[in-house]
């Protein structure tokens, strides 16, 4: 489930609560003031679900109802939406949403489907121009161009993470298996996987914000989160590939796809090998 899909689900719940009279009689003009869009984002702290929204606070301001009561009404409706496993009310009326494992797998599948290279090979990525890449990255971030090939260089970190994602796909192909989102019912519920998935889910919104610097910083965060999990993607030693390996490989592929797309938007090469 993407943030856009959840936004639509929350908006449906808001309109249903108002239409069903669950919030009682509304003040004059309240219907005209209902929000047309709902924003969801990452929760402020780990362990607070996959997404958070202030929809109840916004609706409370329109209806004159206590925010906590509005949040409880929305919570009861939102948990009935497909793909949502749990909704909790936090603070003055924020809603923390945990999506079902199948919904996470759908997000990984959607991101992976944009790749189209299960073996990690992309002919267009074969040649790079480090000097041009450094200039484009510097133009996006306002930093001085740097050609240092080390992880303290943000550009190199992002390109390196992309190359590692491609390498995992190549190595898995040599081992005789490929990516499969949610293989065996895999739920992507390990803390590091959730962190990476949350960042991947935010990519389209941030890429569309019109801020190259914000996009570059987001790609750095994706790269860091991906490198936190890439060591457990492939089987070790004589271990046979399991469903978990196929599922994690799909997550790695999704990360590589996002990194490649983000770099392309910044005019920077996404090398398959470094």
What are the extents of the domains in the chain?
A: 3-99, 102-265
pLDDT at 23: 82
Rounded (to 5) percent helix, strand, coil in the chain: 55, 5, 35
pLDDT at 116: 54
Which positions ≥6 away from 201 have C-beta within 8 Å? 2, 3, 50, 51, 107
Written out in words, the top-level CATH class of the domain with range 102-265 is: mainly alpha
Matching CATH number, 3-99, of 3.40.50.300, 3.50.50.60, 3.30.1360.70, 3.30.70.80: 3.30.1360.70
pLDDT at 123: 44
pLDDT at 124: 45
pLDDT at 216: 97
Characterize the bridge pairing of strands 84-90 and 51-53. unpaired
pLDDT at 133: 94
Which residue positions in the chain have pLDDT lower than 70?
28-30, 115-127
* Residue 55 contacts residue 14 (beta carbons within 8 Å): yes
pLDDT at 115: 66
């Amino acid at each position: 489930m993407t943030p856009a899909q959840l936004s639509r689900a929350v908006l449906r719940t808001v309109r249903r609560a108002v239409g069903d009279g669950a919030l009682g009689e509304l003040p004059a003009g309240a219907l005209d003031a209902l929000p047309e869009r709902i924003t969801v984002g990452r929760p402020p702290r780990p362990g607070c679900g996959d997404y958070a929204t202030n929809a109840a606070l916004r609706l409370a301001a329109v209806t004159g109802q206590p925010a906590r009561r509005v949040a409880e009404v929305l919570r009861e409706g939102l948990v009935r939406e497909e793909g949502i496993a749990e909704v909790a009310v936090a603070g003055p009326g924020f809603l923390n949403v945990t999506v079902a494992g199948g919904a996470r797998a759908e997000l990984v599948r959607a991101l992976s489907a944009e790749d189209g290279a299960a073996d990690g090979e992309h002919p267009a990525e074969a040649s790079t121009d480090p000097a041009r890449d450094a200039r484009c990255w510097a133009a996006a971030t306002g930093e001085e161009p740097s050609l240092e090939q080390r992880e303290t260089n943000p550009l190199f970190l992002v390109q390196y993470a992309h190359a590692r994602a491609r390498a995992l796909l190549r190595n898995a192909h040599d081992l005789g298996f490929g990516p499969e989102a949610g293989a065996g019912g895999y739920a992507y519920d390990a803390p590091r996987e959730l962190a990476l998935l949350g960042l991947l889910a935010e990519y389209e919104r941030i890429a569309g914000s019109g801020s190259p610097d914000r996009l570059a910083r987001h790609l750095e965060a994706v790269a860091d989160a991906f490198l936190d999990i890439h060591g457990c993607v492939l089987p070790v030693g004589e271990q046979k590939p399991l469903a978990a390996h196929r599922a994690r490989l799909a997550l790695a592929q999704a990360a590589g796809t996002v990194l490649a797309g983000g770099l392309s938007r910044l005019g920077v090469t996404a090398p398959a090998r470094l």
